Amino acid sequence: MTTFTLRADQALLPGGWARDVTVRVEGGRIVGVGGEGGVPVGVLLPAPVNLHSHAFQRAMAGMTERRGMGADSFWTWRTLMYRFLEHLTPEDAQSIAAMVQVEMAEAGYAAVCEFHYLHHGVGGVPYADRAEMAGRVAAAAEETGLGLTMLPVLYMQGGCDGRALLGGQLRFANDMSGLARVLHGVHLAADGVLGVAPHSLRAVPVWALREVAAMLPDAPVHIHVAEQLAEVAEVQAAYLRRPVEFLLDQGIDRRWCLIHATQMTERETLGLAGSGAVAGLCPITEGNLGDGVFDGVRHAGAGGRIGVGSDSNVLISLTEELRLFEYGQRMRDHGRAVMAGPGGSTGRALFDAVLAGGAQAAGRSSGAIAVGMWADMVALDGGALALEGQVGDDVLDSWIFTCAQSVVTDTWSAGRHIVKGGRHVVRGSVEQSFRATMARLRGVM
C-alpha cells in the first residue's frame, strides 16, 4: 500500500466542512489531517459502503422488463433468475463481479457487502472447493481493488414449512457444515471482512438462525426480511409474528443488517430503530421489483440507522439510490425535504446516514476522513457545472439531486487509487471480459 498526501479545496470532516484540507495516507489508513502540500483534488468526501449486492444479477439487467401474459411480480422475476442460473459458470461469475465492482467504484462506493448465495454448480452439484464461487468474488475484488465484506449465505429450505429446495435454488443450498467450509476457504485482502448471512426467515429454520450468527461472534450478520407481502404472510402463519417482530424477539443488535424491511408496522419500525441494527435499503431494486417503501421518516425520528445497496445491480448509482429513497418518502408523505431536520440539508442528512450505517453493516473502519480510518474516499469535480461555486452541504444537495452525469473524479479504497479521472484503472480489461461473458450468456438464454 502506497503513501500519499491529498490537498482538497474543501472536505467533509467529522466536525463539518473545511477548506484547503490536507489528508495523509500510509498503509491504507489515514494518518494525518492537516499540514502542507499534497496532490490537489476538488471536493473530498468519505466514500460510503454499498451494503448489499448480488453481483451475478448484474448480467440480468434489462432481461426481465418484458411483461408476461399475467401479472408480473417479484416472484415471476425470481423464476427468470433461476433460469438464468442454469448457464452461469465460475468464470462468468468472476467476470460479472469485476464489472459490478468497477461500476460501484466509479459511482463513489469504496467497498461492498457481497450477499453471496451462489455456491454450487448447476443442479446443486458442489465444486471440489466449496469456496469456489466465493473465491471468484474475492478474486474480482483483488483485481478491482474495491473493499469487500464477504457474506456467505446459509440457504437450507424452500419455505417456512421446511420444503425442499428445487430447480435454481439447488445452487444456493448449504447446511452448517457446508457454510463452515466456505467461510474457511475464502481468502480476503488485509482490509476485507468476513461475515455471515442467513438468507431469510423462509430459507433458514429458527435453530439455524441462532447457530449461524454464533459462527463468527463479532462479525456482521445480514438477512433479507419483510420485502414482500407474501413473505410477511408466510412468516406470520408459521411463527405467529411478523418477520421484523420475530427477529426483534430473537434479540438482534448492532451486528445485524436487515435488508429491505419495506413491509413493517409502526411498532416494528420503532423496534428496529431501537435495536441498533442497520436497515439495508436498496431503493432502485425495491422499486424495480415493486417491494414497497421503507418508512424512513419514522425510523430516522427514532434514531434508526440506514445504509444503501445496489442489490440486483440493475443500475449502479449511489446518488440515484439516495435520490429515489428521499423521493419515495416525499411521495408517500406529500412533503419535501422529509429526511432533513429543521433547517437542514437533505443531501447531508442522507449522506451522513449511509456513511455511518454502511460502515457499521460492513464491519469496516470507514465512513469518515479521520486518523485511523481506512482511506475510503471519493473526490468530486468541484468545477462541474452542477457544483460550480457550491460550498459545504450545497455540494451534497447538488450532487445527489441535480447531477445527471457522474462528477466522481477519483475513488480510493483503503488507500488504493482505483478511479482516476472518472474511470476505473482496470475498466478496459474488465469491460472486455464482461462483454465476452455477456455475448455467451445471451446466446444460451
Residues 173, 221: Cα–Cα separation, whole Å: 18
Contacts of 393 (CB under 8 A, 6+ apart): 17, 344, 345, 347, 348
Phi, psi at residue 148, to the nearest 5°? -135, 125
Phi, psi at residue 306, to the nearest 5°? -135, 160
Residues 244, 267: Cα–Cα separation, whole Å: 10
**Backbone region of residue 187 per phi and psi (left: phi > 0; alpha: psi in -120 to 50; beta: other values):** beta
Residues 54, 77: Cα–Cα separation, whole Å: 14
* 232: three-class secondary structure by DSSP: helix
CA nearest to 366, candidates 279, 317, 307: 307
Residues 376, 46: Cα–Cα separation, whole Å: 6
Residues 179, 263: Cα–Cα separation, whole Å: 29
- Record the cell numbers describing residue 424, joined without a space: 476505473
Using DSSP bridges, classify how beta strands 377-380 and 39-46 pair: parallel, antiparallel or unpaired. antiparallel
Residues 137, 130: Cα–Cα separation, whole Å: 13
Residues 335, 337: Cα–Cα separation, whole Å: 7
Identify the helix (H) or strand (E) that includes residue 28. none
Contact 427, 411 (CB under 8 A): no
Q: Is 311 a known active-site residue?
A: yes
Q: Which of 260, 299, 376, 393 is catalytic?
A: 260
Contact 49, 114 (CB under 8 A): no
Q: Is 92 a known active-site residue?
A: no
Q: Which of 311, 381, 393, 397 is catalytic?
A: 311
* 333: three-class secondary structure by DSSP: helix
* 203: three-class secondary structure by DSSP: coil
Using DSSP bridges, classify how beta strands 416-420 and 423-424 pair: parallel, antiparallel or unpaired. antiparallel
**Residues with a known catalytic role:** 260, 311
